[in-house]
Structure 1
Amino acid sequence: MTSVRRLVSVMSVMLLAGAFVAAPASAAPPDTPWRKRHWPQTQPWQVDEAVALNGKSGPQPIDPQRYELPDTMTWDDYKPVPGTKWADPSVRGSERNFNGALVLVDYPNQPFVVTQPAGSTIYGNPSGVQNLARNDVPGFYRDFLNKPGALNRGHTIHEYWMEDSLGKFGIELSAFGVYQMPSKSHEYGIEGQFQRGAGCPAGDTCNRNLRTDARAAWVAAVGEAEVARYDFVFYLSAGQDESATWQEFGPMKFTTKEDVTDDWGPPDTALPNWNATRYVDWTSWQASANIWPNATQGSSLQAESSGMSTYAHEFSHILGVGDNYNNPYGIPARRDYSGPWEMLSRGTFNGPGGPHSRWLIPGTAGSSMGAQHMLRNKMKLGIAGPVLNLSRDALATSGLVVTQVTARSAGSGGINVTLDGGDRSPACNDPLCDGGGYDNYTLEVVDRMGFDSFTPDSGVLLAKTKNADAAPFIWTIDANPQDIDKVDFVLPDGTPQKMTIGDYRQLSDALFHAGTGSGSRFEYVDTANRLHFYVLDRSRNRKGVLSYDVAVRSLDGAGPATRAVRAFPATARRDSAGWARCTIPVRNTGAATDVFRVTAPGASLPRTVTAVPAGRSSTVDVWLFGRNRASVTVTSESDSAATATTTCRVTR
């Protein structure tokens, strides 16, 4: 089922420890003060999915979760970031425009796939581009990766980094080659770690260093002075990459390793047709013989099937951030760390068709539109938007904080809460355990637009983070930790294979949503670390900018402010379906902004927590069906003694 199309977001107004602090005027829509979202009438600036529910009988979720698995996405899912032209190559990074070299290499046994006829390889590639002259390949891949065009649908590496960094980092690419390597492709692809030393044909020498030979060829052609001009190097290898083929052309194609056919085997008949691979025991020999994308200081290695996101992922390593993903088939099982929400996790796989479409050449499907970096990594890279920095100890002294956060694609940062003195979580060893040792919590908003268009959902993303890159150093808090119970693929014999508990798509429904009945959660309590997070409300402005009101408080202190509340009775009439809605006025008579919990036994509540600034009033909806009266209690989350009780009554 196609997901609801989401629009855009930006950070606008903050409430720090009960005091309003305005963000730059350009970040917020005109005439949209925070309190307006707490009145029942629909404002013209609230272009919102929930508005479409108006007129339906009975209570409706204010923020329904409608996630979509990456596998079913198409290019129609892409939504641009309004008011930006990040793909424009003439717009340079405001802090740094990185000068990169794209160095292309092929092999005596493996020409560039795009120079071959359509569908002519064992993988059924190339697709869409074929029969190029060898001399034209460098320019083709330079433009495919970094010049807006029809084949890349206008999306580039430069665009990714400009959007992700809010215009701070740009990328320029110059292409070199094609240089033919002195050895066969599989002598570089079959190496000691993932193949565990197995599968090298007789007479060949495997585990060769592709970077060493590629750089030597490049230096021989252009000289050391030219090579020194570049900030980094992308080495582009002819052919497939193993990351995108080990599963699709291994266990997904053959039920057992003994079923692998000769055409997928090695040129040496003394070797089996299968070989060892990274995450599981076997794949076809042909898949195992492909290179695996990777990065070291100053350079990265990709293949023709590597989508544009792979380059963004590897460039992140060049900038100094590590990997943050698991083995989805590991024993013992371990949940994925940050899933589809983070470029240095499996957000690299995002793009039309999802993870099982990453073997196409050129890479125009999965791995073509990777997720932005999560807040922790943006902070490390120095590219985060406005960040509200809090600490566990300070919250106990100041009292709760209410703030508005908008989606990262449109420039938002988020919240970082430091765990003073370290993570107090108890030891655990189940598959869903985060492992402990974290330093912070981060909270940010994801909306399906820009490079986040191919994330599964829009909502609030909560995570625990470490300061050091000791994976897992980002652990997404899953609002739906139960098994997602979806089929991953079907074996050749027709047996469906469910996603493992370690599959990154288990986190497709991880985001928090406002209100009740959303299909997700609106609050999260970490008792050990003495923190309570709330997702209070959501709205969009006239441009479609998505915002969430959120709050965080310490369980160990409410701060010095006096807490008090009043609630007033309301009456309602039944509609034709028998539902009656009372709009209960609530006034914060305390001295600071507060979050209040609403209870009404026997009634339906679209929200059970709401924030009200000091001295202001708001309303909560209470729905009745089959009864004429309900008692409504409103209680401060900061001080349970601050409470008020009133009534909802049906007049007829």
Structure 2
Amino acid sequence: MRTHGGARLRRLGRALRPAVLVTGALGLSLVAPTSMAVDTTDDAPSVHDPVDPGDWVNPDDTTWDDYRAVPGRPSEWVDGTVTGTERHFKAAVVLVDFTDQPMLLTQQAGAHVFGNPQAGWEPIERDEVADWWEDYLGTPNEYNNNHTINEYWMENSNGRYSVEIDAFGPYQLPGKLHEYGLSGYAPVTGPNSVCPAGDTCNKNIRTDGFAAWYADQGPTIYQDYDVLFWVTAGHDESGTWQEFGEMKFQTKEDVPAEYGPPGATEGPVYNAFGNEIPNWSPTRYVEWTSWAAAANHWPNAQSGGVIPNSTQAESSGQSIFQHEMSHLLGIADNYNNPFAVPTVRTYSGHWDMLSRGTFNGPGGTHQRWKIPNEGASGMGSQFSLRNKMRLNMLDAATQVVNLTRDQLTAQGVARATVSARSVNRPDRLAGFNVALSGGDLSNCTAEGLVGDRAWLCDRGGYNNYTIEVVDRVGMDSFVPSSGVHLAKTKNQDRAPFIWTIDANPEDINWVDFVRPNGDRAMVTLGDPRQLQDAMFRAGTGSGSLYEYVDEANRLHFYVLERIVDDEGVLTYDVAVRSLDGSGPQARGVSVGGSTAAVTEGGTTASISVPVSNTGAAGAGVHDSDVYRVEATLDGAGWTMTQPYEVVAAAAGETVSVPLHLARTTGGKGTLTVTVTSESDPSKSETVVLDVQTLVLAEAQSVLAGLVADGALDRGVAQSMQAFLDQVEDAIAKGKTKQAEQALDRMVSNLSRVRDEAARQTITELVAILRQG
């Protein structure tokens, strides 16, 4: 049940910090914090600050210090001492190396041309590598910063799914590293082959890996496990193609022999046709990378065969395993080619594990090549709401508001409080799923997403909209920001099957890296970092949006209020309505008597405008209405901050809408406030407020409170009351000079006020009442 306090800001003998918005269950309520002194430090909160300021970060700047645990998360999820309530996965990790590349964990720091292992690494024995990997994936320790893949699955599924790790090997495969990796995206046959003569560069990690595993453990060992992770010696191409390609070398001709095929430092290396192999090689997304980077395999998953399995490398962080295991559960990738021509915007970026959330972790995307992994790709994002529903990680019937577009038309606006997705619990709402009855009606051409804006086209064919809340906590600690994630989704895994709605859809214009010649390389239009600032936020001035209208699909979404509850969990009050119908219930609005309070040390009059929903209630989530608040200020002596332009109230409920007027010269001011139902714009009410009248009423009330509290001696109280009455009378008669003289007399009598807090309060009253 929603509760709202229409509490009026009162001093009552105390000098207060700036009034702030404090949240009830789902509405707005102005209350005053009770501090004994005004906080004047530079970082003190101000009533003029946005109620939900933008907080997005550059992943490159993150460290493990950015991790925050989910409130109430059981520690047993991390150490694996409890298993999933619905399924406990047994995962085999099979380690393989090559005739020319042993496991780098057994090598001295800097043994590889890429600089791995990292400085300070102490080599371990070959027979210790399996234990190291079991611990890295399954036991909290210094290398995983005390996080495990079991923790990831337990947190996402609220204890439904757990993972147990057994590691095997290392087994040396009968070939060189490049014989298993080059064939992914480079030619290994024909005259343009980059495969050295005498080598066979179409060897298969799985074929030879299974043979080695079976030879050691028997041909039925796979039957003991649900999933299999191959871990190859060295690096994967995903984390090295750019870092040891265009980021390090200006052109492909600049790649030195050290990064070329084996033997290139001694002279030319030739392929089977007698053609010289360059030090560069074709790669997945762009024309070239260094040959040494292309020699690595690209992580991939295979759900068929005797056991679902995926390939990783020593450089792979935990999120690579989590991403690939997702495929083993039968869900597809949802990412684009960021370098494709024509360009298509990233689908869901860093906001979902099946997109580029795999890259999340301390240090950002360009640090994923290090061995041991230091955190980049070390903590992937949570699954989005669509994918949690798809993987049965929550109870969609009770944790999700399931609606259709037709239902919204028939029953009216729907409103609820949604919790951060990291806190996946039965008692918390995970979000909305709004099915698009009759299909996706959007049309990119009609919306102008053609020509140089075609990259923003979502391609259509979606089945739903989802609304969820993201906070930088738990496995989402390394997403770019917090806020409301609005997305279009498909029921089938036809990418893009999640399309994040970007609150800031234009090119983010962000430097990706600096090339060797000093030129800045900007993130491409298809780069996942285009969605760094995509989240919607409540209120005005956030740098984001608090509403989104899909005209084609006839839906209007609202982000009403940001709320951090008593458990420290981030929640948002959100709503959605149809543009084609508002339900059968009558709509109505009433604006009550407004009040003022003195804030910001006497520099601001904070006005509280009570707004009541006088309409009828619908059923369940349809019991509210959303109101648009338009406020204008006439008066040169004041400037206005309006924290909210849309608010919501349940039928019969009253919410308090704040407006903050900063005093410049003070004096006369007229505030006009119009409140209009979004469901029925004919239901609207306007009030005209006299600023001086409200401020004087508050001054009288505060002075009375000081007297009632005994903060003023009787004689002082009588004097102050007389002076304040003189101020009010002079203002009413337009006698500014006399009003100022009465205020001066109040100041000259402050020395008689023994209570320091009361003295500060009167000082602030005088400041806000000044006429010039």
TM-score of the superposed pair, with normalisation by structure 2: 0.77
Query: What are the within-5 Å matches in structure 2 for residues 458-497 of structure 1?
Result: 458-497=482-521
State the shift of 1:648 in Å. Answer: 2.9
Shift of 1:539: 1.2
Q: Does 1:236 align with 2:236?
A: no
Matches of 2:441 and 2:232, distance apart in 1:
46
Residue aligning to 2:96:
105
2:478 aligns with one of 440, 454, 460: 454
Helix, strand or coil for the counterpart of 1:155? coil
1:578 Cα deviation from its structure 2 partner: 5.2
Aligned length, in residue pairs: 617
Among 58, 80, 93, the alignment partner of 1:89 is 80
- Secondary structure, counterpart of 1:187 in structure 2: helix
8 Å contact from structure 1 (residues 355, 367) kept in 2: yes
- 1:395 aligns with 408
| Structure 1 equivalent of residue 161 of structure 2 | 169
Indicate conservation of the 8 Å contact 2:140/2:147, yes or no. Answer: yes
User: Does 2:635 correspond to 1:635?
Assistant: no
Map 1:116-515 onto structure 2 (within 5 A). 116-127=107-118, 128-191=120-183, 193-195=185-187, 198-267=193-262, 268=269, 270-297=276-303, 298-384=308-394, 386-411=399-424, 412-428=429-445, 429=450, 430-515=454-539
Secondary structure at the residue paired with 2:31? coil
Rate the CA distance shift 1:194–1:124 in 2: closer, same or farther, 3 A.
same
Give 5+ residue unaligned stretches, structure 2. 4-21, 35-41, 263-268, 271-275, 618-623, 634-639, 693-768
In the other structure, the counterpart of 2:579 is 555
Cα 1:639/1:98, change in 2 over 3 Å: same
CA distance in 1, matches of 2:227, 2:121: 27
Q: Secondary structure at the match of 2:224?
A: coil
Task: Give, in whole Å, the separation in 2 of the partners of 1:195 and 1:160.
Answer: 38
CA 1:196–1:355 in 2, change beyond 3 Å: closer, same or farther?
A: farther
Q: d(CA) in 2 for partners of 1:192 and 1:315?
A: 20
Question: What is the alpha-carbon distance in structure 1 between the residues aligned to residue 417 and residue 32 of structure 2?
Answer: 19
Q: 1:490 & 1:533 partners in 2: Cα distance?
A: 39
- CA 1:570/1:53 → structure 2, altered by over 3 Å: closer, same or farther? farther
Contact 1:622 1:648 in 2 (8 A): no
Which protein, 1 or 2, shows the higher relative CO under an 8 Å CA cutoff with sep ≥ 6? 1
Q: Distance in 2 between matches of 1:102 and 1:577?
A: 65
Say whether residues 1:59 and 2:48 are aligned partners.
yes
Contact 1:571 1:650 in 2 (8 A): no
2:626 corresponds in structure 1 to: 595
- Do the aligned partners of 1:376 and 1:442 also contact (CA within 8 Å) in 2? yes
Contact 1:570 1:649 in 2 (8 A): no
Change in Cα spacing, 1:606 to 1:192, as seen in structure 2 (3 Å) is: closer
Determine whether 1:613 maps to 2:626.
no
- 1:149: Cα distance to partner? 1.1
Give the number of the structure whose residues are more often helix, by fraction. Answer: 2
* Structure 2 letter corresponding to 1:623: H
User: 1:54 Cα shift?
Assistant: 7.1
Q: Give the unaligned 5+ runs of structure 1.
A: 1-12, 16-30, 45-51
Kept in 1, the 8 Å contact 2:184–2:298? The answer is no
Secondary structure (helix, strand or coil) at the match of 1:431 reads: helix
Q: Is the 8 A contact 1:63 1:518 kept in 2?
A: yes
Partners of 1:220 and 1:584 lie apart in 2 by 77
Shifted more, 612-621 versus 527-536: the winner is 612-621
Q: Is the CA contact (8 Å cut-off) linking 1:158 and 1:172 kept in structure 2?
A: yes
CA distance in 2, matches of 1:388, 1:623: 35
CA distance in 2 between counterparts of 1:314 and 1:279 reads 20
Counterparts of 1:67 and 1:507, CA distance in 2? 10
Distance change >3 Å, CA 129–CA 171, structure 1 → 2: farther
Separation in 2, partners of 1:621, 1:196: 68
Pick closer, same or farther for the CA change 1:206–1:516 going to 2, 3 Å.
same
Instruction: Select between 348-357 and 260-269 the one with higher mean Cα deviation.
Output: 260-269
- Report the alpha carbon displacement of residue 193 of structure 1 after superposing the two structures with TM: 3.9
Q: Cα gap change, 1:580/1:42 in structure 2, threshold over 3 Å: closer, same or farther?
A: closer
Q: Offset of 1:436 from its aligned partner?
A: 0.5
Shift of the 577–278 alpha-carbon distance from structure 1 to 2, 3 Å rule, reads farther
Residues 281 and 288 in structure 2, CA contact (< 8 A), matched pair in contact too: yes
1:182-217: CA deviations, max 9, x gaps? 111101101154557531111111122111110111
Mapped pair 1:72 → 2:61 = yes
Instruction: Indicate how the Cα distance of structure 1 residues 42 and 183 shifts in structure 2: closer, same or farther if over 3 A, else same.
Output: farther
Aligned residue identity for 2:302: T
User: Which one has the largest radius of gyration?
Assistant: 2
- The one-letter code of the counterpart of 1:586 is V
* Structure 1 position 540 matched with structure 2 position 553: no
Show the counterpart of 2:28: 38
Structure 1 residue 225: deviation in Å? 2.6
Taking a change above 3 Å as real, the CA distance of residues 192 and 409 of structure 1, as seen in their structure-2 partners, is: closer
SS in 1 for 2:238: helix
Q: Kindly provide the amino acid, as one letter, of the partner of residue 146 in structure 1.
A: G
Offset, 1:105? 0.6
Q: Equivalent residue of 1:408, what SS?
A: coil
Structure 1 letter corresponding to 2:444: A
Deviations 1:439-475, CA, capped at 9 Å, x for gaps: 0001100000101000010110000001111111100
Cα shift at 1:55: 6.0
Q: Which of residues 534, 541, 544 in structure 2 aligns to 1:517?
A: 541
Q: State the SS of the aligned residue for 2:78.
A: coil
Separation of aligned partners in 1, 2:521 and 2:161: 41
Rounded Cα–Cα distance in structure 2 between residues aligned with 1:370 and 1:629:
52
1:25 maps to none
Is the partner of 2:408 in helix, strand or coil?
A: helix
Change (3 A) 1:598 1:616: same
CA contact (8 A) 2:79 2:138 kept: no
Q: Distance in 1 between matches of 2:531 and 2:685?
A: 39
Task: Write the distance in 2 (CA, Å) between the matches of 1:83 and 1:404.
Answer: 19
Separation of aligned partners in 2, 1:469 and 1:179: 36
- 1:47 match: none
Give distance in 2, aligned partners of 1:69 and 1:32. 30
1 CA distance for matches of 2:651 and 2:170? 67
Question: Aligned equivalents of 2:586 and 2:597: distance in 1?
Answer: 37
How far 1:543 moved relative to its partner? Answer: 2.6
1 CA distance for matches of 2:392 and 2:299? 25
Q: Is the alpha carbon distance of 1:196 and 1:347 closer, same or farther for their aligned partners in structure 2, counting shifts above 3 Å?
A: farther
Letter of the 2:278 partner, please give it. P
TM-score by length of 1: 0.91
Comparing 215-224 with 598-607, greater Cα deviation is found at 598-607
